[in-house]
Chains A and B, each alone.
Chain A
Amino acid sequence: MELAILITKMQIVTAIVAAVLIIVAAIGTTFGFSMLGGKFLESTARQPELAQLLMMRMFLMAGLVDAFAAIAVATGLLLVFGSNPFLAAIVKAAAGTLTV
Chain B
Amino acid sequence: MVTSLPLTESEYIQHHLTYYQLNLRTLTIGNGGGFWTLNLDTLSLTIFSGILIVSLFYFVIKNFNSERPGKLQTAIEMAVESLQNLIKEMFHGEDKLIAPLALTIFSWIFVLNSFDLVPVDFLPRILLFFGIEHFRTVPTDDVNLTFALSFSVFLLVIYYNFKGKGCVNLTKEVFSSPFGIWLAPINFIFRIIEEAVKPLSLSLRLFGNMFAGELIFLLIATMPWWIQWTAGGIWSIFHILVISIQAFIFMMLTVVYLSMAHESGH
Q: Which A residues form the contact surface with B (CB < 8 A)?
A: 59-60, 62-64, 66-68, 70-71, 73-74, 77-78, 81-83
A89 and B14 alpha carbons, distance in the complex (Å): 16
Query: Among residues 217 to 232 in chain B, which have CB atoms less than 8 Å away from a CB atom of chain A?
Result: 219, 222
Q: Which B residues form the contact surface with A (CB < 8 A)?
A: 9-10, 13-14, 17, 204-205, 208-209, 211-213, 215-216, 219, 222, 242, 245-246, 248-249, 252
A59 and B247 alpha carbons, distance in the complex (Å): 12
Determine if A78 and B215 form an interchain contact, defined as CB atoms under 8 angstroms apart.
yes
A70 and B13 alpha carbons, distance in the complex (Å): 18
Chain B binding surface SS class: helix
Which residues of B are found within 8 Å of A63, using beta-carbon distances?
Answer: 242, 245-246, 248-249
Residue of B nearest to A61 (CB): B249
Out of B13, B213, B248, B252, name the residue touching A81 (CB < 8 Å).
B13
Residue of A nearest to B14 (CB): A83
Residue of A nearest to B17 (CB): A82
Residue of A nearest to B215 (CB): A74
Determine if A74 and B10 form an interchain contact, defined as CB atoms under 8 angstroms apart.
no
Which residues of A are found within 8 Å of B205, using beta-carbon distances?
Answer: 64, 67-68
Contacts A60-B252, A70-B208, A71-B209 given; indicate if A77 touches B246 (C-beta within 8 A): no
Out of B13, B213, B246, name the residue touching A82 (CB < 8 Å).
B13
Q: Which 9 A-B pairs have the closest CB atoms?
A: A71-B208, A74-B212, A63-B245, A70-B212, A67-B205, A63-B249, A82-B13, A74-B215, A70-B209
Out of B9, B209, B212, B245, name the residue touching A59 (CB < 8 Å).
B245
A67 and B208 alpha carbons, distance in the complex (Å): 7
Determine if A77 and B216 form an interchain contact, defined as CB atoms under 8 angstroms apart.
yes
Determine if A81 and B219 form an interchain contact, defined as CB atoms under 8 angstroms apart.
yes
Residue of A nearest to B213 (CB): A70
Determine if B215 and A82 form an interchain contact, defined as CB atoms under 8 angstroms apart.
yes
Out of B204, B216, B245, name the residue touching A60 (CB < 8 Å).
B245
Which residues of A are found within 8 Å of B252, using beta-carbon distances?
Answer: 60
Residue of B nearest to A62 (CB): B245
* A-B pairs with beta carbons under 8 Å apart, 6 shown: A59-B248, A67-B208, A67-B246, A74-B215, A77-B215, A82-B215
Residue of B nearest to A69 (CB): B212
Determine if B215 and A67 form an interchain contact, defined as CB atoms under 8 angstroms apart.
no
